[in-house]
Amino acid sequence: MDMKEKIEQLVDYIMKNCLWQFHSRAWDRKDQNAGVLTKATQILCGEAVELETPTDRCFWVDAVCLAEAYKSRYPWLAAMSKEEIKQIMQGLHERMDYLTITGSLNLELTDQHY
Amino acid sequence: MPYHEFECSKCIPERKKHAVIKGPGEDLTSALPQGYLSTIPGSISERGCAYCGAKHVIGTPMKDVIHLSHGPIGCTYDTWQTKRYISDNDNFQIKNTFATDMKEKHIIFGAEKLLKQTIIEAFKAFPAIKRMSIYQTCASALIGDDINAIAAEVMEEMPEVDIFVCNSPGFAGPSQSGGHHKINIAWLNQKVGTVEPKITSPYVINYVGEYNIQGDQHVMMDYFKRMGIQVLSTFTGNGSYDELRGMHRAHLNVLECARSAEYICNELKKRYGIPRLDIDAFGFTTLAEGLRKIGMFFGIEDRAQAIIDEETARWKPELDWYKERLRGKKVCLWPGGSKLWHWANVVHEEFGVDVVSVYTKFGHQGDMEKGISRCQEGALAIDDPNELEGLEAMDMLKPDIIFTGKRPGEVAKKVRVPYLNAHAYHNGPWKGWEGWVRFARDIYNGIYSPIHQLALLDISKDEIPTDKGFETQRMLSDRDLSEDITASTVLHQYSGKYDCLAELSGKTYPRFETDLAHAV
Amino acid sequence: MLCDVKEKTRGGCINPIFTCQPCGAQFVSIGVKDCIGIVHGGQGCVMFVRLLISQHFKESFEIASSSVHEEGAVFGAVKRVEEAVDVLLMRYPDVKVIPIISTCSTEIIGDDIDGVVNKLNAGLLKEKYPGREVHLIPIHTPSFVGSMVSGYDVAVRDFVTYFAKKTEPDGKLNLITGWVNPGDVTALKHLLAEMRIDATVLFEIENFDSPLMPYGNFVSHGDTTVEDLSGTANAIGTIALNRYEGGKAALYLEKEFGVPAILGPTPIGIRNTDTFLQNLMTLTGKPIPESLVRERGIAMDAITDVTHMFLADKKVAIYGNPDLAIGIAEFCLDLEMKPVLLLLGDDNPNYRNDPRVKALQENVDFPMEIITNADLWELEDRIRNQGLELDMIFGHSKGRYSAIENTIPMVRVGFPTYDRAGLYRHPVVGYAGAMWLVEQMANTLFTDMEYKKNKEWILNVW
C-alpha cells in the first residue's frame, strides 16, 4: 500500500465518522482542519499538545478520538516513525484541505456571513 | 460529474445538477449536487417556507412562550399540531397557538393596532406565561407592519413580559432553511446576553440544534445530568426562553442539527469565544464518541465512560438482535436536512442496512457533502426532490424501507414501500442508546410486517398459500438466519416500555460536590 | 331569547378552528380528475395543506406551488406561474385542469393571475401545447378574507363558472355536497341510487380513500370530470347541501342558466335527511322507495335504543364548518340533547341571518350561545374560567386538547380528524350517517363512563 492509499484510508475514516471538517465557511474549515489534524499528529507522535484555550481543547477532543481510531484501525501506523507519521499527516491535511476547501464544489464556503 | 438525470425531469434540465450518484473513485470534488437554490415552480417539490422554518421548526419547541403569528390565520393553523416536539411543562407550546388573524381591512389600513391588542389578549388568557415570540408572515411583511416597535411598546407598558420578534416571512428564501437562518440570527441579536444565568457547575454547555422530538432532549439531558454538566439552554427543544437568553455564558456549544442551528453556534464562537463541538446523538458508537468528547473537554471523561459502559452493556444485545435481521436491507434515507448525514453511516454500521439513496428537502451543499461522504458508494443523492423523482427513484432502487416525512410516506405506501417518519419518528425517542434500539425495532417492524408481505400479493394471479392462518415477524425475519443467531441466548428483542421517558422524570442524579465549588 | 348570537370580542385568535381560503380551493382542486392546482404564493401554503389533507386521509395528494421567493415578492411573481404551468404540463401528460390559486402574498403584491392565464392561453398553450386540452382557471383566495370554508365555496363556484355550458337539458340533478368525506359521498350516492336519480355529484371524492394495490401506483384523486362540470348548466336543478360550501355555485347556475337551486339542508340527522329526500322528490318527481323507508327504519330503531336513555339532556359544544356544526346542533335537538355552545369559526356576517340560526334563537328552551368569528379559546375559556359544563364536544382534531385537558368526551367530526383512524370512510349524512353519529356518541359516552367509573355498571344490563 503506498502513501496515497494510506492517506485515502485516513481520509475515508474522517469522512465517514467526523463532522469537524464540514463547518460551513472556508475560513472555519481551514481552522478546523489545521486545529484537529495538527493536534492529532502531535498525539500520534507522542508530543505535547497545547490546551490553553477552549478552542484548543475543542480541537483536542476531536483529535484524541481521531488518533485513537487511527491507531486501532490502521496497524501500519504503529510501524511508522514520527517523521513518517508527520509526513503522512501532512499529506492528509493537504488532502482534507483540498476536499473540503480548495477543491470543494460547495458554493457557500465563500459567503462572508454566517 | 456523475450527475443522475431522472427520466421524469429531462424536460427541466436545471434539475440535472441536483442529483448525483457517487461512483467508485469519486469524491466530493467530483460528486456534489447543487443545493439551496430557488425551487422550480410547478415541480411539486416538498419544500416548505421560511416562516415555517423559523416559527414551526425552531421557534415553537421553546416551551414557556406564547407563539404568535402576525398574519392571516392559515400560517398559524397549518403549523399547529404537526410536529412531535414535546416539553416538560405539559406541552403548552404544542397545545396552543396564537395569531392576529389579519383580515382585508388590516391589509389596507395596517394591523399594528390589532397586533398590540392580540398580544395583550394572549397574555391575559395565559397569565402564567410571560414570554412571547412574534413571527412575521408574508402578509405582515408585505404591508410593512413594524412588529419590533409594537413589541417594544408592549414591553414598556408591561414590564413583566418579554417579547422576541422574528421577521421571517414565508417567501424569505428557497425553503424553510431561510427561516432557520433568520431566527438564529434574530435570537442572537435580540436576546442572547440579556439574562445572566446562575452557573451551578464548572461544566456548562448549550445543547444546540436539538428539538426534543418525542423526547430526544429528555434522553440527552439524562446523560448530561449524570455527568454533572449544567445545560444552560437547549436550542430549542424543551427550551426555556429565559435560559436561551443566557446562552453566552456556556463554555461549550454542543451542536447536533448543524443545518438549522450552526449559525448561532458560529456567531457565539465569533462574539463570545465559545467553541462549537458537533456531535451525533443517533447511534451507539457515535453517541459514545460525542459524550466522550464532551467529557474530555471538561476533564470528566470518566463520567462519560461510565455512562457509555453501562448503556452499551444494557442495550447492545438488543441492537444486535435487530442488526442480524436488518443486514443488507435497502434504505432510502430521505429526510429534511440533517438526518441524512446523522444517519447515513451509522445505520449501515449499526443496523447493517445499506443506504441506497439520500435526499434533502431543504439542505444546503454542506449537508450533501456530509451525507455523500457518509453513505456508501453508488448511493443516489438528490437535492430538493419532487414527487415524480421520488417515485422514479423508488422504482429504480427498490428499497425495503424509506425514512421520510408523513406525506411522502403515503406516496411510498402506494408503491408498497414501508416508511418510517424521519422527522417525527414512529415510536421514538430515537436518540440515546435505548432510542437507537427503538429505531431499529421500528425498522424491523416496518420491513417484516406480515401485512406488508400481504400487500405484495395479487390474489388474482399469484400462488396464494392456503395452509397458513398467520405469519409472525420472526417467521419472516428468521427464515434464512443461522441457528447461532436465531437460538442465541445473548441477543434479544427490545425490552423497553412504550413510554421510555416516564422513568426519567423524578430520577435523582449524583451531586458532584467538588464541582459546585468550581462553578464559575 | 335564550339563544344569543355573538361575535368574538377579542381581536386576535387563540387556537383557530379554520385555516385560510387557499386550503379550501386546494381541497376542491383534488376532487377534479386530471387536475393539479398551482398555489401562487410561498411554498408553505401548499406544503402544509398537503400535509393537513394527508393527515386526515392518510393519503398523499398532488398540488403544486409557484414557489414565490424573495425576488418574486418584491418584483412580482407572475413569471413563476407561467413556469409552473409549463413544468406541470411537461411532466404530467394527463393534466388538463390547472386552477391558479392565489394567496395573501400574491394578492397583496397584486399579481394579475387572470392576466397571466390570458397570456398563457394566447402564448404558451398555443405554441407549445397545440391540440392539448388545458384549462387554466384563476381562483382568487386571499388568505385574509373568510376562511377555508369560503375558499371552498369560491373555488366550487369558479370551477362551475369556468366549465358550465348550456347545451341540451340532460335530466340530471346537480348535487353539490360541500366539504365532506368519501363516506358521505358514498352515502349520498346510495340515496340517489335508491331514488333512481341520475345526478352529477360535485365532487366525486370516493377515491380519496384509495387502495394499496399489489401492482402499480394508485394516487388518490377525485373523479369529477370536465364533462361533469360543463354539464351542470343542463341539469334540472341543483341541490347544494351546504349553504356555505357550494351555495355560490348553485346560485350561479340558477342565475346564469335558470337551473333551480335549493340550498341545504345539510342532511345530518333523520329530519334533515327527510327534507333532503323531499327536495329530491320535488326536483325530480321520483318517489321515495320502500327501501329507504326501511333504511330509515333501521336507523330509527338504532337511534331509539340510545336516545332518551343515554343522550337526552346531555350538554354539548360543537365547532367546525358552519353547515356541519349547525346540522349537528339540529340533530342533537332531535336527540333531546342540549347544544349549549356553537362555534362558527370565521367572520362571515351571514351566519347571523341563517334561517337555521334564527330558528335556534326562536325555539331553544335552554341557554345557548352561538359565537361567530370564533376560535377554540371561546370554548376553552368557558370551560376553564366560566364554569361551562359539558357532556360532550363535537369537532375536528385541532380541538382535541379542549377535550383531553378537560376530560370531556369528544366525537370527532369534520375536517381534519387525523387523531382517529378511518373516520373519512364513515358518513355523517343520510340515514346511515345519522345512525353512525348516534352510535359514535353513545360509544364515546360509554367509554368515558367506564374510564371515569361514572355509573358504568348501568351498561351491564342495557
Q: Note the pLDDT tens digit of each residue in C246-302.
A: 999 999 999 999 999 999 999 999 999 999 999 999 999 999 999 999 999 999 999
Q: How far is CA B414 from the centre of its chain?
A: 25
DSSP C349: G
Residues C23-67 pLDDT 10s? 999 999 999 999 999 999 999 999 999 999 999 999 999 999 999
pLDDT at C8: 96
Give one DSSP letter per residue of B105-124, joined into a string.
Answer: HHHHH-SHHHHHHHHHHHHH
pLDDT, tens digit, 9 for 90 and up, residues C160-192: 999 999 999 999 999 999 999 999 999 999 999
CA C101 from chain center: how many Å? 18
Q: Say what percent of chain B tops pLDDT 70.
A: 100
Percent of chain C whose predicted confidence (pLDDT) is above 70: 100
- Cα separation, C40 vs C263, whole angstroms: 31
Looking at residue B31, its pLDDT comes to: 87
pLDDT at residue B1 greater than cutoff 90: no
Contact A19, B278 (CB under 8 A): yes
> What is the per-residue pLDDT for B514?
73
Residue of C46, A25, A112 whose CA lies nearest to B364: A25
User: Average pLDDT of B453-477?
Assistant: 95
**pLDDT for B377-410, tens place per residue?**
999 999 999 999 999 999 999 999 999 999 999 9
Which positions in chain B touch A24 (Cβ < 8 Å)?
Answer: 258, 262, 266, 364, 366
In degrees, to the nearest 5, what angle opens at C-alpha C347 toward C-alphas C342 and C353? 65
Euclidean distance between CA atoms B264 and C117, whole angstroms: 44
Say which residue the cell 455527568 belongs to: B227
- Tally of CA atoms within 13 A in the half-sphere of B164 that contains its CB: 32
Task: Check if A1 contacts B (Cβ < 8 Å).
Answer: no
For C190-225, the pLDDT digits (tens) are 999 999 999 999 999 999 999 999 998 888 999 999
In chain A, which residues have their Cβ closer than 8 Å to the Cβ of B27?
Answer: 99
The residue among B206 and B1 whose pLDDT is bigger is B206
Which residue in A57, A6, A9, A53 sits closest to A36, CA to CA? A57
In this structure, the strands spanning C38-40 and C64-65 are: parallel
- Chain-chain contact of B266 with A15 (C-beta, under 8 angstroms): no
What is residue B511's predicted lDDT score, i.e. its pLDDT? Answer: 86
Which band of pLDDT confidence, cut at 50, 70 and 90, is reported for residue C1? Answer: confident
Nearest CA in chain C to B462: C214
DSSP letters along B384-426, please? S-BHHHHHHHHHHH--SEEEE-HHHHHHHHHTT--EEETTT-S
Span B11-26, mean pLDDT?
93
- Residue C146 corresponds to which cell in the numbers above? 373568510
Q: Please give the grid coordinates belonging to residue B68.
A: 404568535
In angstroms, what CA-CA distances link B408 with A31, B334, B387, B388, B452? Answer: 39, 9, 8, 11, 17
| DSSP 8-state code for residue C209 | S
Of C402, C411, C409, the residue nearest C437 (C-alpha): C411
Predicted confidence (pLDDT) per residue in C77-126, tens digit: 999 999 999 999 999 999 999 999 999 999 999 999 999 999 999 999 99
Radius of gyration of chain C (CA): 23
From chain A, pick out residues whose CB is under 8 angstroms from the CB of B263: 114
C62/B43 Cβ within 8 A: no
Q: Rounded distance, CA C135 to CA C132, Å?
A: 10
| Side-by-side strand order, sheet with C237-240 | C199-202, C173-176, C237-240, C261-263
User: Is B314 in a helix, a strand, or coil?
Assistant: helix
How do C237-240 and C261-263 pair as beta strands?
Answer: parallel
Query: Are the beta carbons of B252 and B274 closer than 8 angstroms?
Result: yes
Residue recorded with cell 321515495:
C288
Among residues of chain C, what percentage have pLDDT more than 90?
Answer: 98
ipTM of the complex: 0.97
Is residue B472 very low, low, confident or very high in pLDDT (cuts 50, 70, 90)?
very high
Dihedral angle sign, alpha carbons of residues B312, B497, B354, B34: negative
Chain C residues touching residue B458 (CB < 8 angstroms): 214-215
Residue where the block lists cell 414535546: B86
Give the model confidence (pLDDT) of C355-371 as tens digits. 999 999 999 999 999 99
Instruction: Name the residue type at position B90.
Output: D
C356: number of CA atoms within 13 Å, CB side? 24
The answer to whether C50 faces chain B, any CB pair under 8 Å, is yes
Are C396 and C330 contacting, i.e. CB atoms less than 8 angstroms apart?
no
Check residue C207 and give its pLDDT.
Answer: 96
A in contact with C (at least 3 C-beta pairs within 8 A): no
- Long-range residue pairs from A9-15, CB within 8 A, at least 24 positions apart, any chain: A9/A73, A9/A74, A10/A70, A10/A74, A10/A88, A10/A92, A11/A92, A11/A95, A11/A96, A11/A99, A13/A66, A13/A69, A13/A70, A13/A73, A14/A66, A14/A96, A15/A99, A15/B373, A15/B374
Q: How confident is the model at residue B104 (pLDDT cuts 50, 70, 90)?
A: very high
pLDDT of residue C59: 97
**Separation of alpha carbons B256 and C29, rounded Å:** 40
Residues with Cβ within 8 Å of B424's Cβ and at least 6 positions away in sequence, in order, are B83, B84, B213, B214, B406
Share of residues in chain B with pLDDT > 90 (%): 95
**Res. B515: pLDDT tops 90:** no
Tell me how close the Cα of B462 comes to any Cα of chain A, in angstroms.
Answer: 43
Best mutation target, B27, B255, B265, B341, to test chain A (most A CBs within 10 A): B27
Q: What is the pLDDT of residue B520?
A: 65
Q: For B340-371, what is each residue's pLDDT tens digit?
A: 999 999 999 999 999 999 999 999 999 999 99
Residue C440 CB partners (closer than 8 Å, separation 6+): C411
Q: Can you tell me the distance from the alpha carbon of B475 to that of B486, in angstroms, rounded to the nearest whole number?
A: 11
CA pair distance B211, B255, nearest whole angstrom: 12
pLDDT per position as a tens digit, B405-414: 999 999 999 9
Q: How many CA atoms lie within 13 A of B25 on its CB side?
A: 1
Distance CA C236, CA C199 (A): 10
Set of cell numbers at residue B419: 416508511
* Model confidence pLDDT, tens digit, residues A89-103: 999 999 999 999 999
- Residue B130's alpha-carbon distances to B147, B245, B474, B513, in angstroms, are 18, 14, 53, 34
When pLDDT is averaged across residues B315-331 and rounded to a whole number, the result is: 98
- In this predicted structure, the answer to whether residue B519 has a pLDDT above a threshold of 90 is no
B104 and C144: CB-CB below 8 Å? yes
Residue where the block lists cell 474522517: A14
CB neighbour class for C341 (10 Å; exposed up to 12, middle 13-18, buried from 19): buried
Residues 181-210 of B with CB under 8 A from A: 185
The average pLDDT across C314-328 equals 98
Q: Is the pLDDT of residue C375 over 80?
A: yes
Residues pairing with A112 in the sheet: none
Say whether C398 and B77 touch across the interface (CB within 8 A). yes
Q: Which of C310, C10, A17, A14 is nearest to B120 (CA)?
A: C10
* DSSP run (H or E) holding B99: strand B98-99
Interface of A with B in 41-70 (CB under 8 A): 53-55, 57-58, 60-62, 64-65
Q: What is the average per-residue pLDDT within B485-489? A: 96
CB atoms within 10 A of CB C182: 21
- Cβ atoms of B197 and B246 closer than 8 Å: yes
Give per-residue pLDDT as tens, C133-159: 999 999 999 999 999 999 999 999 999
Per residue of chain A (114 residues), what is the pLDDT tens digit? 899 999 999 999 999 999 999 999 999 999 999 999 999 999 999 999 999 999 999 999 999 999 999 999 999 999 999 999 999 999 999 999 999 999 999 999 999 999
